[in-house]
Amino acid sequence: MAFNLAFLSSVVIILSAFSPVITALSSNYYDKSCPNVDQIVSNAVKKAAANDRTVPAALLRMHFHDCFIRGCDASVLLNSKGSNQAEKDGPPNISLHAFYVIDNAKKQVEASCPGVVSCADILALAARDAVVQSGGPNWDVPKGRKDGRTSKATETRQLPAPTFNISQLQQSFSQRGLSLNDLVALSGGHTLGFSHCSSFQNRIHNFNATHDVDPSLQPSFAASLKNTCPVNNRPKNAGATMDPSSTTFDNAYYKLILQGKSLFSSDQALLSFPKTKNLVTKFATSKEAFLDAFVNSMIKMSSITGGQEVRKDCRIVN
């Protein structure tokens, strides 16, 4: 499924944590300066995914976490330096991985067109390719982002947390120019990947004064999660897949929410507001409706800009 982005030749959603910038993105931005960039990045993602099935989920999550802090400026890729702890070392990002895939893609892009393509664009392309590699939709990624020069671990507290309720989620998304439709569609990215116990333990132990377990969880599903994630003596990397088809990009996530089998409080929260509940039901019923909405919301989110330069090395500023 390909989507034409002619209408996005001058996308303008601008939200940088500081000093917002107006940036026109275009799907043909590199047509003359680096015509093979899409193919180079796609090949790098394909190669990595063939060796490690967790790569697509990791790249999609990395892009989300990049865009929600200072816009899609590749600030999530920068290494900590001296006393400055970078975003990748902030608590919500400790489990991010597959940075090497972006490094490899950047190296190959630099060999073909040195100094032209930003790391932010490479990450946006890689996220799209991660979805495609998982059997999801394809789309033209608008390009022309710049890389940021600032990355602070403390700012990762701005990321929406798995414990958020619907009003917290709505506020987090609206601050970035994203709607309730975008919230529900982008939450569908949870169709891919794995979660450690820490992200959902609030639902299965000491949920509130009345219930030990979140009563909205389907009982046998809750029991299996408690078994995987005991209060004490938990295995170091214990957790659960986001849905049973965790390497396939599909609409199973929405069906699970309706069955009381979603992992996060923030997933279950989508049922607590009529508009978002209706969208969950719509996407659970129609995979095509979900894929269309996901693509539109990905384009919108990935067009939040905020950088200043084209990095030579994605891990360090120029």
Same domain, residue pair 112 and 45: yes
Instruction: Look up the CATH number of the domain holding residue 261.
Output: 1.10.420.10
Domain boundary among 137, 159, 181: 159
Binned at pLDDT 50, 70 and 90, residue 7 comes out as very low
Instruction: Look up the CATH number of the domain holding residue 121.
Output: 1.10.520.10
The tally of domains found in the chain comes to 2
Same domain, residue pair 170 and 102: no
| Burial group, residue 2, by CB count within 10 angstroms (0-12, 13-18, 19+) | exposed
Same domain, residue pair 151 and 189: no
List the one residue out of 125, 141, 140, 144 whose CA is nearest residue 46.
125
What is the residue type of 223?
Answer: A
Domain boundary among 101, 125, 159: 159
List the binding residues for substrate: 160
Report the catalytic residues: 65
Read off the pLDDT of residues 180-212 as tens digits, 9 standing for 90 and up: 999 999 999 999 999 999 899 999 999 989 999
User: Once rounded to an integer, what is the mean pLDDT over residues 151-168?
Assistant: 96
In this prediction, residue 235 carries a pLDDT of: 75
Residue 283 and residue 251 in contact, taking contact as beta carbons nearer than 8 Å: yes
In this prediction, residue 237 carries a pLDDT of: 83
Same domain, residue pair 173 and 297: yes
In this prediction, residue 167 carries a pLDDT of: 97
List the binding residues: 66, 71, 73, 75, 87, 160, 190-191, 243, 250
Distance separating alpha carbons of residues 56 and 130, to the nearest angstrom: 4
Residue ranges making up the domain that contains 248:
166-301
Q: Which range among 17-31, 214-228, 256-270, 304-318 shows the weakest confidence by mean pLDDT?
A: 17-31
How far lies 125's CA from each of 43, 84, 164, 237, in Å? 11, 28, 28, 29
Read off the pLDDT of residues 49-106 as tens digits, 9 standing for 90 and up: 999 999 999 999 999 999 999 999 999 999 999 999 999 999 999 999 999 999 999 9
Distance separating alpha carbons of residues 129 and 267, to the nearest angstrom: 24
User: Once rounded to an integer, what is the mean pLDDT over residues 136-152?
Assistant: 97
User: Once rounded to an integer, what is the mean pLDDT over residues 10-26?
Assistant: 49
Read off the pLDDT of residues 259-295 as tens digits, 9 standing for 90 and up: 999 999 999 999 999 999 999 999 999 999 999 999 9
List the binding residues for heme b: 190
